[in-house]
Amino acid sequence: MKTILIPLIAAALAIAAEKAPKTPDPTPAAPVLTAVQKLKLRDAQVLAISAEKKFSDYMQTIQRQLDSLPEYQSAKKNLETTTKAWQAAIIEAREVVKCPDCDLNPETLALTRPVPKQAKVETEKPKQ
């Protein structure tokens, strides 16, 4: 008896599924690219990667040339020295006013205290 009922139930479910109204897929299928379009995309991708590699190699060559110039080395060292002096002056100013967390506005040379972060307070909207 079980062997007869199972195929009958399966057949009934299949018929019911065919008769049921089909709901359209909410997201349409993505368009499919042709082989020619895929090849064009791959060619453009390979060219872009190749150009990026050439540009990177070129920039490395320029950097090596810059590094070999004594004027560049002198300017780089001067920049590092003055940056360290600027940072030390900011730290000293903070220590003098006893505000280690203060920020310095470089335009006005004024120290400002950091704004404390406040917890967000969610307000309920009145129901209408």
Report CA 93 to chain centroid distance, whole Å: 36
In a domain, 27, yes or no: no
pLDDT score at 3: 58
Identify the domain containing residue 62 by its residue range: 34-68
Report yes or no on 78 lying in a domain: yes
Residue 3 lies in a domain: no
Is residue 84 located within the same domain as residue 110? Answer: yes
Asked whether residue 109 falls in the same domain as residue 77, the answer is yes
Global pTM reads: 0.46
Number of structural domains found in the chain? 2
User: Cα dihedral angle (89, 93, 95, 99), rounded to 10 degrees?
Assistant: -130
- Tell me if 128 is assigned to some domain: no
51 inside domain:
yes
Higher local confidence (pLDDT), 12 or 104: 104
The C-alpha atoms of residue 111 and residue 95 are separated, in whole angstroms, by 12
Same domain, 78 and 52: no
44-101 residue pLDDT tens: 999 999 999 999 999 999 999 999 999 999 999 999 999 999 999 999 999 999 988 8
**Hey, what are 39's tokens?**
């090849």
Question: Do 49 and 61 fall within a single domain?
Answer: yes
62, 75: one domain:
no
In a domain, 110, yes or no: yes
Residue 5, in any domain of the structure: no
H helices of 20-126, where?
Answer: 35-68, 70-96
Q: What pLDDT score was predicted for residue 66?
A: 95
